[in-house]
Chain A
């Protein structure tokens, strides 16, 4: 295995000129267990951690731009994230254990494209956009256009994720995760709600759920019903049109659906009680 650790973005793009098959390494917290479980080592491994441009967090009046190499611990300690993006901040708190949080990055969590990736659900619900760069171009694309399937992302060869852009708003938000153990557990379901209330009604509402479909999905049907009537009792038929859960070693599809309904009901009721 060839190991490369370019020190700058330009060095990286030079490297891309000469190497066609490569695997990108950032935190390694998902990649390494894969190798342990039999994934063959790549011919070329490119470690991005020495590229300092990729780990900055920049704040403007409208948005925050989070470098792809920002670790979960760094996200958790960031005051802007704590202030504007509570659901994301909550997700960092429930993300694995300290050792993993110190290595795992926001970019890695996105590019790993797991249906149960804990940071993804809040990112979707805040309308995150991804800044993708190539040697001579860049594009800014909504996150849902990039994550296509479990473990699959629509990045071009020679393209990397530079940063994640989140628009600042005055919305409130929350993140709920259910694992089969209080900590160090993979989500059986998770969801994030970003909302703004005007008296009893929702002025803004976006609800996304994880681990109930091949990618993070929006609970559009439910959103519409709640926008109409925030006091609606949530039943399975309001989420079933949008989800497609599977049964696996952790839980059955039924359980995922049932728990999602129960937990959504609980949170929406609580939000309705808020003044």
Chain B
């Protein structure tokens, strides 16, 4: 029985349906102290004084922790060192944390935090990309430009000269809040010169580094364990490093465990969001519909600190023209600091934004050329042997055309004929994308991951891996892949909670990299264990190793058909003191990339997708209803098809929210859409019927041929919806969210 490709039931589902899973805030409170953040209510200014005398007199007050209590460095910037752990001189956004109040109960900590008086001399803030770029004096940091990337390839001048048609358009995408259901939280347990952290998080190794640096203790003295995590979507990539490091400072000083869980309002105001982009696309094309040249400017609102902007900006730049051949390009991608909460990782990581740009311009070009949008895309789409926009030669697993082909076949029966008397307009929209798997050239040094596989005496196998389960189904696919690799069944695999003590630094749980990274590490570990299992089986069965087949939890002598169970093998290994465990490791192969020009191998492989949506626009109200999504995804190989569908259904739902209803708003830097009655994420009634279409174009470097799906699921959705609304109404929609008000205004004008 194959374990791969089977819709194995999620191994964490039983506990979850019983309500028994212990999320961080569900753990028994063993006399923890509780912390609450004290943060700036002003978007930009200089701190004049911090007075906590009123707080001190509150009976439950334990301590006020701030920059002065840091024994290491007051720095938590993950890529660029621009972010103090506790602001001590300048505050740069509403929510910039100045200190923590530690008290005996969480509610009291929060109440006391309000009593800390902070005097700030206000500076005039920058909220938009334009304001930030155009600033001439007083910058958020040394300059207002946080980071930039570029791709320069071919010669755009010649390309545009040869073009029969050149289109220029501007596109805008909006900020989005993750709204993972479990808020951020962690507990720090101090032990003499060591610190253990437990938290709701995506990247234990980021936290380990941040805490070590801030406390001034060696990396190995910091242990980080992940508690079951109630959703993350990128929102728990870098932000938990801040929470953990702050709480660790308090725990180190006080010598007692300190716990902090953000309230929903703190979480919304203080933590990262999706970068709003503004994009300028100028694309030249021949009469026959061949892409010739593109000049693209991507500008990103980074918020107050750079956090992950540099890699978001990199990914958007590398993928700026999508899964198409285009010989001449000039892409610049720039992130600007503003006085808003830092924008960071959110499912897709710059890709949904760039895809909005390239897929809108592809549709506009097709219309102007009078070519069917499917045909126009097909003409230019990448296949094996082609070079990407960055000049990377693709040698395998390019299922782009198949996704487009398979999705577009589904719409043939859906010819739209809008009736002038109806108050609904219907439309169909297409969007295709590619997604570079794992961290790419910009993050290559971090792009390795490990596992530790142990065969237990009782015949079970335990697996520790360095990436995390955050809802996406990581544990289940890791169990399936381990079972497949060792010839056992998934039922006997036990997954350990992710911790920094079991495996080496495996990088972040991001970039849709779990299946690829952990899967390959599992295969690496199995290469070491399988010969031992075969040898032992041969010994017990008294035959040649070549005749041994291990499958389905049995080792069989193929000649005699004699069998022994995996439990017997495990028992034998332990009894004879033989090797029962193995550490597996995999690192992404070297990438030939030139960072000056932004050309070469940006990522080692790509997932591809085409989503086609059908929408209905209400002419009376401007409300857009997404009726159906055909989502075709080339993922190399589906490890767990039902789990994969679940990713696509969830990703498209988030895409619908981002495109239509999630209208996050700030007023003078303060979030005003703080709750679910103002920040409208989709309910069961707002999602579409989704048909997931799998394309399995095997990737030789992927485990069992697999590539990532987590992010591709959301990437094309918003662009496809905008294309569909544009087609339905005959008006170009180049900005999201397409709220009822925005849509009505455009169709009535």
Chain-B contact segment, one of A61-69, A159-167, A203-211, A251-259: A251-259
Give the docked Cα–Cα distance between A178 and B740 (Å). 10
Q: Is A82 an interface residue (CB 8 A)?
A: no
B420 to chain A, nearest CB (A): 15
Give the docked Cα–Cα distance between A144 and B678 (Å). 28
Give the docked Cα–Cα distance between A98 and B621 (Å). 26
Given A258-B748, A262-B621, A180 and B665 contact (CB-CB distance below 8 Å): no
A-side contacts of B680, CB under 8 Å: 180-181, 185
A178–B741 CB distance below 8 A? no
B741–A183 CB distance below 8 A? no
A259 to chain B, nearest CB (A): 5
**Contact pattern, A 214-254, Cβ under 8 Å of B = 1, otherwise 0:** 00000000000000000000000000000000000111100
Contact residue among A182, A188, A250, A259 (Cβ-Cβ distance under 8 Å from B686):
A182
A-side contacts of B419, CB under 8 Å: none
Given A258-B744, A262-B621, A266-B423, A249 and B665 contact (CB-CB distance below 8 Å): yes
Given A181-B661, A258-B748, A266-B423, A252 and B741 contact (CB-CB distance below 8 Å): yes
Given A249-B678, A259-B744, A178 and B621 contact (CB-CB distance below 8 Å): yes
B660 to chain A, nearest CB (A): 9
A251–B621 CB distance below 8 A? no
**Contact pattern, B 655-667, Cβ under 8 Å of A = 1, otherwise 0:** 0000001000100
A249–B686 CB distance below 8 A? no
Residue of A nearest to B263 (CB): A36
A-side contacts of B620, CB under 8 Å: 259, 262-263, 265-266
Contact residue among A180, A183, A184, A263 (Cβ-Cβ distance under 8 Å from B739):
A180
Q: Is B412 an interface residue (CB 8 A)?
A: no
B685–A251 CB distance below 8 A? no
Chain A interface bracket (under 10, 10 to 19, 20 to 34, 35 or more): 20 to 34
Q: Is B48 an interface residue (CB 8 A)?
A: no
Given A252-B741, A263-B620, A266-B423, A182 and B678 contact (CB-CB distance below 8 Å): no
Task: Among A183, A188, A249, find the residue whose CB has the most chain B CB atoms closer than 10 A.
Answer: A249
B-side contacts of A259, CB under 8 Å: 620-622, 740, 744
Q: Is B672 an interface residue (CB 8 A)?
A: yes
Given A249-B672, A249-B673, A255-B741, A182 and B621 contact (CB-CB distance below 8 Å): no
Give the docked Cα–Cα distance between A170 and B661 (Å). 40
B678–A250 CB distance below 8 A? yes
Q: Is A186 an interface residue (CB 8 A)?
A: yes
Residue of B nearest to A264 (CB): B620
Give the docked Cα–Cα distance between A229 and B426 (Å). 33
B653 to chain A, nearest CB (A): 13
- Contact residues, A256-275 vs B (CB, 8 A): 258-259, 262-263, 265-266
Residue of A nearest to B742 (CB): A255
**Contact pattern, B 734-749, Cβ under 8 Å of A = 1, otherwise 0:** 0000011100110010
Q: Is B560 an interface residue (CB 8 A)?
A: no
A-side contacts of B686, CB under 8 Å: 181-183
Interface of B is mostly: loop
Give the docked Cα–Cα distance between A258 and B744 (Å). 9
Residue of A nearest to B663 (CB): A180
**Contact pattern, A 167-198, Cβ under 8 Å of B = 1, otherwise 0:** 00000000000101111111010000000000
Give the docked Cα–Cα distance between A252 and B739 (Å). 12
Q: Is B677 an interface residue (CB 8 A)?
A: yes
Residue of A nearest to B672 (CB): A249
B685–A182 CB distance below 8 A? yes
A-side contacts of B542, CB under 8 Å: none
B50 to chain A, nearest CB (A): 23
Task: Among A181, A252, A265, find the residue whose CB has the most chain B CB atoms closer than 10 A.
Answer: A181
Number of interface residues of B (CB under 8 A): 26
A-side contacts of B621, CB under 8 Å: 178, 259, 262-263
Give the docked Cα–Cα distance between A269 and B744 (Å). 20
Residue of B nearest to A185 (CB): B680
A183–B678 CB distance below 8 A? no
A64 to chain B, nearest CB (A): 31
Residue of B nearest to A178 (CB): B621
Q: Is B413 an interface residue (CB 8 A)?
A: no
B625 to chain A, nearest CB (A): 8
Give the docked Cα–Cα distance between A182 and B740 (Å). 12
A255–B678 CB distance below 8 A? no
B-side contacts of A181, CB under 8 Å: 661, 680, 682-683, 685-686
**Contact pattern, A 114-145, Cβ under 8 Å of B = 1, otherwise 0:** 00000000000000000000000000000000
B483 to chain A, nearest CB (A): 41
B-side contacts of A251, CB under 8 Å: 740-741
Given A185-B680, A259-B621, A180 and B661 contact (CB-CB distance below 8 Å): yes
Residue of B nearest to A251 (CB): B741
Residue of B nearest to A183 (CB): B685
B423–A180 CB distance below 8 A? no
A182–B665 CB distance below 8 A? no
Given A249-B672, A262-B620, A182 and B683 contact (CB-CB distance below 8 Å): yes
B-side contacts of A255, CB under 8 Å: 740-741, 744-745
**Contact pattern, A 84-119, Cβ under 8 Å of B = 1, otherwise 0:** 000000000000000000000000000000000000
A-side contacts of B673, CB under 8 Å: 249
Residue of B nearest to A250 (CB): B678
A-side contacts of B677, CB under 8 Å: 184-186
A41 to chain B, nearest CB (A): 13
Give the docked Cα–Cα distance between A218 and B383 (Å). 64
B-side contacts of A188, CB under 8 Å: 740
Give the docked Cα–Cα distance between A153 and B745 (Å). 36
Give the docked Cα–Cα distance between A25 and B683 (Å). 29
Contact residue among A180, A265, A266 (Cβ-Cβ distance under 8 Å from B740):
A180
A-side contacts of B661, CB under 8 Å: 180-181
B15 to chain A, nearest CB (A): 24
Residue of A nearest to B681 (CB): A181
Residue of A nearest to B745 (CB): A255
B748–A183 CB distance below 8 A? no
Residue of A nearest to B676 (CB): A184
B114 to chain A, nearest CB (A): 10
Give the docked Cα–Cα distance between A180 and B684 (Å). 15
Residue of A nearest to B665 (CB): A249
A247 to chain B, nearest CB (A): 10
A178 to chain B, nearest CB (A): 6
B-side contacts of A250, CB under 8 Å: 678
A184–B744 CB distance below 8 A? no
Give the docked Cα–Cα distance between A157 and B713 (Å). 58
Give the docked Cα–Cα distance between A110 and B625 (Å). 32
Give the docked Cα–Cα distance between A185 and B675 (Å). 12
B521 to chain A, nearest CB (A): 43
B-side contacts of A249, CB under 8 Å: 665, 672-673, 678
Give the docked Cα–Cα distance between A251 and B739 (Å). 10
**Contact pattern, B 616-646, Cβ under 8 Å of A = 1, otherwise 0:** 0001111101000000000000000000000
A-side contacts of B682, CB under 8 Å: 181
B-side contacts of A180, CB under 8 Å: 661, 680, 739-740
- Contact residues, B677-732 vs A (CB, 8 A): 677-678, 680, 682-686
Binding site for A on B (CB under 8 A): 423, 619-623, 625, 661, 665, 672-673, 676-678, 680, 682-686, 739-741, 744-745, 748
Q: Please, could you name 8 A-B residue pairs with CB atoms under 8 Å apart, sorted by A?
A: A181-B686, A183-B686, A186-B677, A249-B672, A251-B741, A258-B744, A259-B744, A262-B620
Across the A-B interface, the 9 shortest Cβ-Cβ residue pairs: A262-B620, A182-B685, A255-B741, A183-B685, A181-B680, A183-B683, A259-B621, A184-B683, A181-B661
Beyond the given A181-B683, A184-B677, A266-B620, please list 20 additional residue pairs across the A-B interface where CB-CB is below 8 A.
A178-B621, A178-B740, A180-B661, A180-B740, A181-B661, A181-B685, A181-B686, A182-B683, A183-B684, A188-B740, A249-B665, A249-B673, A259-B620, A259-B621, A259-B622, A259-B740, A262-B620, A262-B621, A263-B621, A266-B423
